[in-house]
Amino acid sequence: MDKLVVEGGKRLTGEIAISGAKNACLPILAATLLTDEECIIHNVPRLKDVSTMVCILESLGRKVEYEKNTIKISAGKVKACTAAYELVSTMRASIAVLGPLIAKYGEAKVSFPGGCVIGARPIDLHLKGLRALGVDIHIEEGYILASAKKMKGAKIYLGGHFGSSVLATANTLMAAVMAEGETIIEDAACEPELIDLANFLLKMGAQISGMGTPTLKIKGVKKLRGIEYTVIVDRIETGTYMLAAIATGGSLFLKGAKLEHNLALNDKLLESGGIVKERSNGIEVCRSGKKIKPIDITTLTYPGFPTDLQAQMMSLVTICEGISVITEKIYTERFIHVSELNRMGANIVLEGSTAIVKGVKKLSGAPVMASDLRASAALVIAGLIASGKTEISRVYHLDRGYEKIEEKLSAVGASIYRVKE
């Protein structure tokens, strides 16, 4: 197993090209199941999670060619509707094949997704959306068995305890595009990744309106065609590097990044003493002064502050001047990174789903363990800030969502390298 070694105290300066968005790519790859015609998708990041989705599509009988950052998918000889436990249990986003399989084949057998360290992640809203379209669903031996002779459009309220759900909206949308008549999804997710999926479906010939608003309207069609498409850039990767630039007192140009996808983060960075400039082909980010000011954040669904940047933002405020309060409203237990940051000399106290971060003068390098994708990115930022050496084990978590992170960071002055454990 690999670990990453980070020698801190270096300012990041230079240019980083932002990759395609993992969380747009995964449901878009699943959506290719809605047609037998060839689909070509560009700007696909080379990530472990993308490879897992490719394996699932191949196990469902698709022919997949994956070269550089382009994937070509076409219907293979066999038709299969079972997404197996071995694959689905390694990646929750695999659940996104459920809607497309039912829409295309009228049946699906998908393993119930496994647990997740960031919190309880039920799929009740996914099942609610599909059942409202007339899909018969029951759980047997750890599998979701779903079938529908004919799906019928419906009015569906999809809001949950924590607000809208990204993948539940995606699954219901991907089924509704081939259901008879009109479907209205209320409290739909508004994330840019969901809009990208809707644009992909529109280009395939679907009829959808209201993207980016809580009310999605879909008119079912009989057939969808194969297309060529380019995935949006990754706003969470962008946000991670924006935070790393300010945390190290450096200055980065993030090529291809879109500020409009990160307005909540931008707002907080300006408050903490950052400078963010939008350029035609990217974002420039640096720190205004010596000190980082404390901030309070509450994670919310889009366009609120993203939960996927909560841990990385926490790393930044560990060295701010004063007390910051971070409240997690989406995954109330998403704080596994706290004990590792405290191991590096941070001063963080947890009160239920709120972390109180008392800024310290400096962090010191230490051996730490990654627990999930975004927590590992937070430990990289902490390692860049800290004096001395930080060794991050279990970096396979990082490889799920960050393309070439150590190459990108080394190119802008970081001392970061991978070693076999």
Q: Which residues are known to be catalytic?
A: 116
- Whole-angstrom distance, CA of residue 57 vs CA of residue 65: 11
- How much is the CA Rg of the chain, to the nearest whole Å? 21
Instruction: Output the six-digit token pair for 391.
Output: 């060794």
Q: Is 93 in the site for ligand EPZ (CB under 6 A)?
A: yes
Q: Is 142 in the site for ligand EPZ (CB under 6 A)?
A: no
Q: Is 287 in the site for ligand EPZ (CB under 6 A)?
A: no
- Whole-angstrom distance, CA of residue 79 vs CA of residue 230: 27
Q: Is 308 in the site for ligand EPZ (CB under 6 A)?
A: yes
**Residue list 176-215, contact with ligand EPZ (CB under 6 A):** 193
Q: Is 23 in the site for ligand EPZ (CB under 6 A)?
A: yes
In the complex, least distance from residue 93 CB atom to ligand EPZ, rounded to whole angstroms: 4
Q: Where are the beta strands (DSSP E) in 309-352?
A: 323-327, 347-351
CA atoms within 13 A on the CB side of 266: 16
CA distances from 87 to 41, 60, 101, 214 (A): 22, 12, 16, 32
Q: Is 250 in the site for ligand EPZ (CB under 6 A)?
A: no
Strands laid side by side in the 274-279 sheet: 13-17, 251-255, 282-287, 274-279
Q: Is 3 in the site for ligand EPZ (CB under 6 A)?
A: no
Contact between 91 and 49 under an 8 Å Cβ cutoff? The reply is: yes
Nearest to 159 by CA among 216, 214, 97, 217: 214
Q: Is 160 in the site for ligand EPZ (CB under 6 A)?
A: yes
Which is closer to ligand EPZ, CB of 74 or CB of 354?
Answer: 354
Which is closer to ligand EPZ, CB of 262 or CB of 307?
Answer: 307
Candidate residues 71, 73, 206, 330; the one interacting with ligand EPZ per rule CB under 6 A: 330
- Whole-angstrom distance, CA of residue 403 vs CA of residue 171: 26
Q: Is 409 in the site for ligand EPZ (CB under 6 A)?
A: no
**Residue list 102-131, contact with ligand EPZ (CB under 6 A):** 120-126
Q: Is 235 in the site for ligand EPZ (CB under 6 A)?
A: no
In the complex, least distance from residue 189 CB atom to ligand EPZ, rounded to whole angstroms: 6
**Residue list 334-373, contact with ligand EPZ (CB under 6 A):** 373
Which among 70-78, 149-157, 158-166, 222-230 is the span making contact with ligand EPZ, rule CB under 6 A?
Answer: 158-166
Residues 6+ apart with CB under 8 A from 31: 100, 174, 197, 200, 201, 204
Interacting residue ranges for ligand EPZ, rule: CB under 6 A = 23, 26, 92-93, 120-126, 160-162, 165-168, 193, 307-308, 330-331, 373-374, 401
